[in-house]
């Protein structure tokens, strides 16, 4: 795994932790292995637990910068959800998802999220479940353009 991919996973976990209440998570756990019913272990990039049900949500990060996530990759996450008994999943990537991936995700309780590839724990744009989360690390100032028209002479009384 590349250094960029590992950093993307770390940043994703940190952002999910920061936004967990708004997303309905009570806890965000680090990368780990989970045993499956098939007898294998699955390495998961993060594990979230829902606040309302304690259900386990498997998080997969894919820092693909040249192509969208396809249905095969979402299907792989769906199988890990089934094999581990998780309640659902979340896949995070920079470029988004192909149409087939979106269909599979919708049918099998997988949320799809986009996170910019150069995201940091302080500066990021995360789109997930119809919500937009922004992290801004620098001060942004807004200026309004004001035009003034000078009238010479006597102005009429209001």
- Over residues 15-28, mean pLDDT: 96
What is the H or E stretch that residue 10 is in?
A: helix 3-23
Confidence of residue 147 (pLDDT cuts 50, 70, 90): low
Query: Binning pLDDT at 50, 70 and 90, where does residue 137 land?
Result: confident
pLDDT, tens only, 37-65: 999 999 999 999 999 999 999 999 999 99
3-state SS class at 44: strand
């Amino acid at each position: 795994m590349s250094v960029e991919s590992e950093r993307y996973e770390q940043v994703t976990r940190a952002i999910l932790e920061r936004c967990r209440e708004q997303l309905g998570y009570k806890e965000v756990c680090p990368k780990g292995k989970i045993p499956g019913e098939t007898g294998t272990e699955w390495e998961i990039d993060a594990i979230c637990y829902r606040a309302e049900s304690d259900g386990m949500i498997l998080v997969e990060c894919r820092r693909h910068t040249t192509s969208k996530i396809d249905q095969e990759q979402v299907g792989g996450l769906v199988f890990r959800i089934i094999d581990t008994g998780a309640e659902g999943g979340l896949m995070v990537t920079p470029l988004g998802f192909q149409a087939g991936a979106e269909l599979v995700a919708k049918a099998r309780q997988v949320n799809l999220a986009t996170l910019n590839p150069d995201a940091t724990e302080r500066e990021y744009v995360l789109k997930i479940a119809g919500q937009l989360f922004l992290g801004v690390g620098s001060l942004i100032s807004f200026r309004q353009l004001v035009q003034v028209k000078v009238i010479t002479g006597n102005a009429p009384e209001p």
